[in-house]
Each structure stands twice: as structure tokens, then as C-alpha cells.
């Protein structure tokens, strides 16, 4: 939930007058995204999302994010398309913040993905990876890959066991192993890196939009698949749903077959992905101001997922089938 920056209608009208979007008809702060302030704009030209970039976003990353969305939209990916102003510039300035107007995507996210949703997601993820292959104008290192985990652990270590007994030791073990064995040389490219169900819209059961590219970066493509297995294929009771995993992986591979090494690395990548979300949630959880109205995500959900991944003995446990590997 967001909306941090207060924009006056007067400031907005002045900003909007630099675009070819006609007059403002309505303007509401919306509860979407956690890093930025988002507003729904209705103008004579239709509906748009206005994003003001808050302090957690590094302004130096904005050309990557905006360039990527433009690139993907041009290649037919259903993602927000940045709107350029009369001078041909997409990134503006409003209320003292970098600001972007992008197209509004129709659809609603699902809370409990079905196997059909997972299949649609797998296909869309592969299309995104293919469409991003020739996006080379900007690069962005993944600050939340293996090299970024130990600093998070250091922030949380002292109080980690207040969340779950033995958590600090388990994370320390896992970190050592992952730092040593994290795969190198797998196919890399642009990944979304945060493709949770609330960032994916469906309309009449069909995937109609992917949003929130503010963790996107250059990293291993199969790591993005592992993030999605974590985010889409577990049940609320913590069980991995192999039917959903199979649907996601089969649909992904129909678009972009995974190499043998990528398949072999899946269990390790899935452990890494679980640890990454466990760590960021843990740090957020331990740093909530008392009395805050926003409750952070429960880190224990990802501890359970991590435990599942530690029990996995073969990529087949995720639902990869023999014939699917390239």
C-alpha cells in the first residue's frame, strides 16, 4: 500500500499540460506498489497510472525501468507503457519527485492462483524473457541476488530467533552453501524478479497485464522461474502444489525450453529465491515502527518454503518432466 507524496490538483494540472492527454477528469491515490506513490488518472485520453518515485528507488535506475517497459511494450508484452510528453520525454518531475505517466492495464490479480493461472504465468514469463533478450540499452545489477543476502542477514541476525527459534543458524547455513554453490554461466538476461500474483492481472481468465518492474534487473533467467515457483505454486498451508509447478514449467518451456543445466540448478535457485524473500521480509518485520498501520509480509511463510526446497532431491519434485528439458 502506498501514496506517500501529496500532489495538489493544481500541480497535477500544470504537469499534465505538458502531455497530449487532454484535460484531467479524475485523480485518486491508489493502494498499489509498496515503493512508490501511485495515482489513477482519468483524462480525456483515457485512464493512466501516475507514479511518483520515492526515496527507496534510486533515480539512477529509472532509465533502466522506463526503457525496459517501453522495450517490452513495443514487443507486445502487456505491461505499462510509459507515456512521453510533448517534448518526447517520459520521465518528468512532480511534487519534487521523479514522475512517470504510464498506460492503465485492465484486469485484476488473483489471490489464489489456479493451475491454469500458473500456466498462463509461465508462458508470459518466457515471453518476457525472450522480449527482454535484446534490451541492451541499460543494465541493472540485481542487488538482491546472492551477494546482497549476507548484508541483509547481518541486519537481522541478532533478533532473527525472536521470529522463529533457530532461524539465525538456519539462514547462516543456507547462506554459506548458496554463496559457495550459486550457479554461474547459466543463460542470463532481463528478469522481472518480483513476479508475484499481485503484479499480474487477468481478464476473463486470460493474463492481461504484468506490472511493477521496479525490481527488474539483469540476472539468470532460471532464477526468475524459481522466484515464480515460490510465489505461485505453494498452497496457503505451506504445501508445494506439483500440479501448479508442472503447469508453470510446461508452459514456460513451450515458449523457452530450459537447458539441462538450468533444470539441474532449479532446486538451488529455488532455495536462493526463498532465502531472498525470507531475508527481505525478516528485515522489514523486525523494523516495523510500533503502532504502524501497515503490517509487513510474514517472513515465516518463506521459512516454510525454504524448508520444502531443502527437502527436494530432484528437479522432478518441482514438476519438470523429462521430455520438457531442451
Among 290, 313, 322, 323, binds its own copies (CB under 8 A): 290
Please report, as residue ranges, which positions from 174 to 233 form the binding site for its own copies (by CB under 8 A): 201, 203-204
Span of 109-117, 222-230, 250-258, 269-277 interacting with its own copies by CB under 8 A: 109-117
Per rule CB under 8 A, is residue 107 in the interface with its own copies? Answer: yes
Q: Which stretch binds its own copies (CB under 8 A): 86-94, 99-107, 184-192, 220-228?
A: 99-107
5 neighbors 38 (Cβ within 8 angstroms): no
- Indicate whether 295 belongs to the interface with its own copies (CB under 8 A): no
Task: Using CA atoms of 286, 290, 292, 294 in order, give the dihedral in degrees to the nearest 10.
Answer: 30
Options 5, 35, 40, 257; binder of its own copies; rule CB under 8 A: 40
124 to 153, contacts with its own copies by CB under 8 A? none
The CB-of-26 to its own copies minimum distance in angstroms stands at: 5
Half-sphere exposure at residue 198, Cβ-oriented, CA atoms within 13 angstroms: 5
> Based on CB atoms, which residue is closest to its own copies, 29 or 187?
29
- C-alpha cell of residue 197: 500474483
Does residue 29 bind its own copies (CB under 8 A)? yes
Q: Are 197 and 244 in contact (CB under 8 A)?
A: no
Please tell me the count of residues contacting its own copies according to CB under 8 A.
37
Min CB(54)–its own copies separation in Å: 13
Cell digits for 167? 532461524
Per rule CB under 8 A, is residue 70 in the interface with its own copies? no
DSSP 116-179: HHHHHHHHHHHHHHHHHTT--S---B-TTSHHHHHHHHHHHHHHHTTTSTTHHHHHHHHHHHHH
Q: Which stretch binds its own copies (CB under 8 A): 29-37, 134-142, 179-187, 246-254?
A: 29-37
At a CB cut-off of 8 Å and minimum separation 6, what does 248 contact? 118, 119, 121, 122, 225, 228, 229, 232, 233, 319
- Rounded to whole angstroms, how far apart are CA atoms 57 and 309? 31
Residue among 94 and 270 whose Cβ is closer to its own copies: 94
Residues that bind its own copies (CB under 8 A): 1, 3, 8-10, 12, 23-32, 40, 42, 47, 104-112, 201, 203-204, 289-294
Amino acid at each position: 500500500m502506498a501514496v506517500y507524496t501529496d500532489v495538489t490538483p493544481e500541480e497535477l494540472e500544470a504537469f499534465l499540460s505538458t502531455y497530449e492527454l487532454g484535460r484531467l477528469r479524475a485523480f485518486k491515490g491508489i493502494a498499489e506498489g509498496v515503493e512508490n506513490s501511485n495515482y489513477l488518472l482519468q483524462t480525456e485520453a483515457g485512464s493512466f497510472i501516475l507514479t511518483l518515485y520515492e526515496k527507496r528507488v534510486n533515480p539512477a535506475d529509472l532509465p533502466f525501468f522506463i526503457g525496459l517497459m517501453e522495450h517490452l511494450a513495443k514487443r507486445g508484452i502487456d505491461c505499462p507503457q510509459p507515456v512521453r510528453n510533448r517534448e518526447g520525454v517520459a520521465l518528468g518531475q512532480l511534487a519534487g519527485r521523479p514522475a512517470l505517466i504510464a498506460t492503465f492495464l485492465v484486469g485484476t490479480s488473483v489471490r489464489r492462483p489456479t493451475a491454469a493461472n500458473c500456466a498462463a504465468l509461465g508462458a508470459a514469463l518466457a515471453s518476457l524473457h525472450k522480449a527482454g533478450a535484446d534490451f541492451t540499452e541499460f543494465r541493472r545489477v540485481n542487488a538482491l541476488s546472492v551477494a546482497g543476502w549476507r548484508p541483509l542477514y547481518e541486519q537481522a541476525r541478532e533478533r532473527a530467533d525472536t521470529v522463529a527459534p533457530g532461524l539465525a543458524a538456519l539462514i547462516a547455513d543456507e547462506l554459506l552453501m548458496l554463496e559457495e554453490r550459486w550457479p554461474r554461466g547459466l543463460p542470463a538476461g532481463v528478469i522481472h524478479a518480483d513476479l508475484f500474483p499481485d503484479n499480474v492481472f487477468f481478464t476473463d481468465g486470460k493474463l492481461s497485464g504484468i506490472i511493477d518492474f521496479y525490481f527488474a534487473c539483469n540476472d539468470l533467467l532460471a532464477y526468475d522461474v524459481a522466484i515464480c515457483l515460490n510465489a505461485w505454486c505453494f498452497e496457503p498451508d505451506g504445501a508445494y502444489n506439483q500440479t501448479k509447478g508442472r503447469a508453470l514449467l510446461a508452459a514456460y518451456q513451450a515458449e523457452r525450453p530450459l537447458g539441462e543445466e538450468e533444470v539441474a540448478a532449479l532446486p538451488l535457485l529455488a532455495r536462493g529465491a526463498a532465502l531472498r524473500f525470507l531475508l527481505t521480509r525478516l528485515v522489514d518485520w523486525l523494523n516495523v515502527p510500533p503502532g504502524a498501520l501497515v503490517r509487513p509480509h510474514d517472513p515465516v511463510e518463506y521459512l516454510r518454503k525454504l524448508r520444502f526446497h531443502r527437502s527436494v532431491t530432484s528437479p522432478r519434485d518441482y514438476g519438470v518432466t523429462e521430455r520438457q528439458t531442451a
